[in-house]
C-alpha cells in the first residue's frame, strides 16, 4: 500500500509542476505579448495602390462575393490601371470559376493576353493557367 501512495504522490507532483509551468507561460505571454518573429518582415505589395475610398469599396465588394466583385469591377474598372486591375480581375475569375467556368476562362484569357513577362502578376497568371486551361 505504501508503494501505491508513493507512486500517487509522484504523479500528483508531476501534474502540479506541469500546471505551474503552464500557468507561468500564460502569464508571461499575457505580460510580454506574443513572441515576435524578427526575421519575417512585411512584404511590400508590388501592385500600385488604390485610393482609400476605392480600397474600402473593394473590401466591401469582396465581402459581397461574386456579384459584389462583378458590380464593383463594372463600376470602377475604367479608373484602375494594370497590374492592379488585372489582379482584381483574377480574383473575380477565381470566384467565378465554379458558377461560370466559361466566363472565368474568358476573363483569365483577357488578363493573360495583357500581362507582360516583367509584370508582378506574371507568376500568378502562369500558376492559374492550370486552372483555366
Does 19 fall in a domain? yes
Q: What is the pLDDT of residues 69-111, one digit of tens each?
A: 889 888 888 888 888 888 888 888 888 888 888 998 999 999 9
**pTM score, whole prediction:** 0.64
Would you state the pLDDT for residue 83? 83
Instruction: Mark whether 15 and 58 lie in a shared domain.
Output: no
In a shared domain, residues 62 and 112 = yes
Residue range of the domain that includes 28? 1-32
Element (H, E) at 60: helix 52-63
**pLDDT category of residue 22 using cuts at 50, 70 and 90:** confident
26-84 tens-digit pLDDT: 777 667 666 565 554 455 567 777 788 888 888 888 888 889 888 988 888 888 888 88
43 within a domain of the structure (yes/no): no
Domain shared by 64 and 125, yes or no? yes
Could you tell me which of 119, 92, 87 has the C-alpha nearest to residue 104?
A: 92
Cα torsion through 72, 78, 82, 85, rounded to 10 = 10
Amino acid at each position: 500500500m505504501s508503494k501505491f501512495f508513493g507512486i500517487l504522490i509522484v504523479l500528483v507532483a508531476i501534474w502540479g509542476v506541469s500546471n505551474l509551468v503552464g500557468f507561468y507561460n500564460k502569464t508571461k505571454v499575457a505580460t510580454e505579448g506574443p513572441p515576435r518573429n524578427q526575421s519575417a518582415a512585411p512584404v511590400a505589395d508590388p501592385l500600385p495602390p488604390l485610393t482609400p475610398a476605392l480600397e474600402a469599396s473593394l473590401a466591401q465588394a469582396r465581402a459581397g462575393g461574386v456579384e459584389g466583385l462583378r458590380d464593383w469591377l463594372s463600376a470602377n474598372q475604367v479608373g484602375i490601371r494594370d497590374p492592379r486591375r488585372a489582379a482584381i480581375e483574377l480574383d473575380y475569375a477565381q470566384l467565378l470559376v465554379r458558377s461560370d467556368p466559361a466566363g472565368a476562362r474568358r476573363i483569365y484569357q483577357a488578363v493573360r493576353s495583357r500581362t507582360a513577362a516583367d509584370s508582378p502578376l506574371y507568376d500568378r497568371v502562369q500558376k492559374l493557367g492550370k486552372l483555366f486551361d
